[in-house]
Amino acid sequence: MNNKTYKKPSQFRAFLSLAWYAFLAQTRNPASFAFGFIFPVVFISIFGIISGTTPKLIVGIATNSPSSEVIRVVQKQTASFITLDHEDEITLENKLRQGKIDGILQVTKGQGRGEHINLLTSTANPQNASELTSIMGNIVDKENLTLSGITTPPITLQERQLAGRQSRYIDFALPGQIGFSLLSTALFGTVFGFIFLKKAYVLKRMFATPTRALTILLSQGASRLIISLLQTFLILIIGVVVFKFYLPHGFMTFLQLCVLSIIGLIAFLGFGYFFAGIANDENSAGPLINLVTLPQFLLSGTFFPTSSLPGWVQPIANNLPLSYFNMAVRKITTEQGSFHETFPYLIGLLIWGFVMYILAAKTFKWE
Q: Which residues bind another protein (CB under 8 A)?
A: 1-3, 6-7, 9-10, 13-14, 16-18, 21-22, 24-26, 28-29, 200-202, 204-211
Q: Which helix (H) or strand (E) holds 114?
A: none
10 or 290, CB closer to another protein? 10
Cβ 56 vs Cβ 80: under 8 Å: yes
Q: Tally Cβ neighbours within 10 Å of residue 35.
A: 20
Strand ranges for the chain from DSSP E: 57-62, 81-87, 103-109, 115-120
22 or 263, CB closer to another protein? 22
25 or 140, CB closer to another protein? 25
Cβ 227 vs Cβ 36: under 8 Å: yes
**Sign of the Cα pseudo-torsion (242, 252, 343, 184, in order):** positive
Question: What 8-state DSSP symbol labels residue 364?
Answer: -
Q: Mind giving me the DSSP string for 139-173?
A: HHHHHHHHHHT-SS-SS-----PPP-PPP-HHHHH
Q: How far is the CB of 32 from another protein (least distance, A)?
A: 9
Q: How far is the CB of 362 from another protein (least distance, A)?
A: 19
Q: Mind giving me the DSSP string for 289-321?
A: HHHHHHHHHHHTTSSS-GGGS-TTTHHHHTTSH
Q: How far is the CB of 338 from another protein (least distance, A)?
A: 42
Q: How far is the CB of 206 from another protein (least distance, A)?
A: 7
4 or 362, CB closer to another protein? 4
Q: How far is the CB of 209 from another protein (least distance, A)?
A: 4
8 or 113, CB closer to another protein? 8
165 or 365, CB closer to another protein? 365
Q: How far is the CB of 18 from another protein (least distance, A)?
A: 7
